[in-house]
Amino acid sequence: MTILIELVKDIKTRAEEFGRPIAIVPTMGALHAGHISLIKMAKAECKTVVVTIFVNPLQFGPNEDFNKYPRDLETDFKICQENEVDIVFAPTKEEIYPDINKIEQDLIVPPDNLASVLCGKTRQNHFSGVCTIVKKLFDIVTPDYAYFGEKDLQQLYIVRWLVKTFTIPTFIRACPIIREASGLAYSSRNKYLTEEQKIMASNIYKALKLAKQNIRSGIFTINKALLEGLIFLSQFPEIKVEYLDARDKEDFSIVDKNKTGGIYCLIAANVGGVRLIDNIELQ
């Protein structure tokens, strides 16, 4: 049976009652196949699975979609029931941030080399918001394992930094990106897209695959492969690329231009005003 908990004071004891190892799957709700894959992996490895649903105001900029972000707790709860989640933890904003005006002093700020690049360039303070909520959720739930999607690759590296820096005894598990048949990565924000825009958006993944192919062929340097990806996308004026870049798999640093393996290619692009991210590993 799946139980819904809204109060911080209840969650820790209830999770302990279900038994360890405890898994946490942090989400902002509007659950889809990507989230379900995380839940399945957590179920396979842990005794108790806690899915958290919290649209974290701290990780949204002033001109972003916090107010219109899709929220449907009833459907999310049903999905969790169907997937045999033990606990859905869906706290209110007040429960998590009793004094949000004074949050500045409690913000966890990840280092610039991880957090002020790529998505962090346009989404200032986004990753501080992510770190602050993830640390809070970890403190509340005390999970043994935490499941994150590779879809949000930069976030994954930053969460690894968080766990290392604060010596948090939680294993971080990375889960592969789940895609629609078209190749478009599942995202709660896909709900904002029309069917036509979704088809258009699937070219984002095509560009990533092209970069991969070009690196595999052995004749392209990483910079040339990225450029070819941009040239491919330039034929679709509806897709506005924010960045198409590469990072070293090892430590998320800027890649040596002669490197051909252990590289991630990452993209952020806007389609119809909807910001989408995706990435691929280049071997």
Judged by CB under 6 A, which of 103, 178, 227, 241 binds ligand AMP? 178
51 close to 84: Cβ distance less than 8 angstroms: no
187 binds ligand AMP (CB under 6 A): yes
Rounded to whole angstroms, the Cα distance separating 29 from 74 reads: 10
27 binds ligand AMP (CB under 6 A): yes
For residue 126, what are the CA distances in angstroms to 31, 122, 123, 140, 166?
21, 9, 5, 21, 19
User: Do the bridges between strand 239-248 and strand 263-271 make them parallel or antiparallel, or are there none, so unpaired?
Assistant: antiparallel
Coil, helix or strand for 87?
A: strand
149 binds ligand AMP (CB under 6 A): yes
Judged by CB under 6 A, which of 3, 20, 37, 220 binds ligand AMP? 37
Coil, helix or strand for 186?
A: coil
Judged by CB under 6 A, which of 158, 175, 226, 267 binds ligand AMP? 175
Judged by CB under 6 A, which of 28, 80, 88, 269 binds ligand AMP? 28
Smallest separation, CB 64 to ligand AMP (Å): 13
Coil, helix or strand for 274?
A: strand
For residue 169, what are the CA distances in angstroms to 8, 143, 149?
20, 8, 19
- Of 73 and 178, CB closest to ligand AMP: 178
Judged by CB under 6 A, which of 15, 23, 87, 185 binds ligand AMP? 185
35 is catalytic: yes
Dihedral through CA 255, CA 259, CA 263, CA 265, nearest 10?
70
145 binds ligand AMP (CB under 6 A): no
Half-sphere exposure of 102 (CA within 13 A, CB side): 3
The pair of structure tokens assigned to 88 is 């859905």
152 binds ligand AMP (CB under 6 A): yes
Kindly name the residue from 15, 29, 34, 35 that is annotated as catalytic.
35
162 binds ligand AMP (CB under 6 A): no
Identify which range of 111-119, 149-157, 190-198, 205-213 contacts ligand AMP by CB under 6 A.
149-157
Helix (H) or strand (E) holding 260: none
Judged by CB under 6 A, which of 188, 197, 214, 279 binds ligand AMP? 188
275 binds ligand AMP (CB under 6 A): no
How is residue 68 annotated by DSSP?
Answer: T
Phi/psi at 112 (nearest 5 deg)?
Answer: -60, -35
Count of residues engaged in binding ligand AMP, rule: CB under 6 A? 17
Binding site for ligand AMP (CB under 6 A): 27-28, 34-35, 37-38, 148-149, 151-152, 175, 177-178, 185-188
Active site residues: 35
